[in-house]
Amino acid sequence: MTEKEKRDRGKWYDANNDREIGEEIMRAKDLCFRLNSTLPSAISEREEILSLLIPDRGNDVMILSPFYADYGYRISIGSGSFLNHNAYLMDGGGISIGEHCFFGPDLAIYTALHPLIAEERNKGLEKALPVVIEDDVWIGGRVTILPGVHIGKGAVIGAGSVVTKDIPPFTLAYGNPARCIRGIDERDRIITECP
């Protein structure tokens, strides 16, 4: 089994010394550099770079620079989603973002785990667990999402939170570590009349 196959199956793999993985990471770094060096007004050029970096994107996805990813192709983003400045998606385990998701600046999504024993960690071993974010999620600024987390449809994560566990649908959560505060329901509606 190759290191890449181990990675994709959620097993411990050599993330630092495998040629194929190293080439994929370098490709993504180069594409991120190109994207981050391209004028915001150069929309068609940015789209072309994003198509190479993240081919699985829906319509009307907006990603502001700077943006960083380890692989890029291990990310899927649904239509109408928005990632603000300085997002880093460590996507070895795969990151799935639904439709109409909004992310504040300084987002960090991590899928990698490292051994606790220094001797094993120093060998470059890593395990990658997927992160799933369902449709209509709002993530505030400076939020960190850890490996294996699943955030349910319509959830809201407050700014500065560190999400260590799954968040149910239509739930407001915040803190470090993030905890569920309450459900989101009709009392949260701000538009009470049709215009």
Catalytic center residues:
114
Q: What is the pLDDT of residues 16-48, one digit of tens each?
A: 889 999 999 999 999 999 999 999 999 999 999
What pLDDT sits at residue 190? 83
> Mind listing the pLDDT tens digit for each residue in 101-113?
999 999 999 999 9
- DSSP letter assigned to residue 138: E
Strands 13-14 and 125-128 come out as: antiparallel
Could you list the beta-strand ranges (E) of 79-169. 82-83, 87-90, 95-97, 102-103, 108-110, 112-113, 125-128, 131-133, 138-139, 144-145, 150-151, 156-157, 162-163
Stretch (H or E) spanning 45: helix 43-53
What is this structure's pTM?
Answer: 0.94
Within a 10 A sphere around the Cβ of 70, how many other Cβ atoms?
24
pLDDT tens figures, 121-173: 998 899 999 999 999 999 999 999 999 999 999 999 999 999 999 999 999 99
Amino acid letter at 18? D
Pairwise CA distance, residues 86 & 104, whole Å: 9
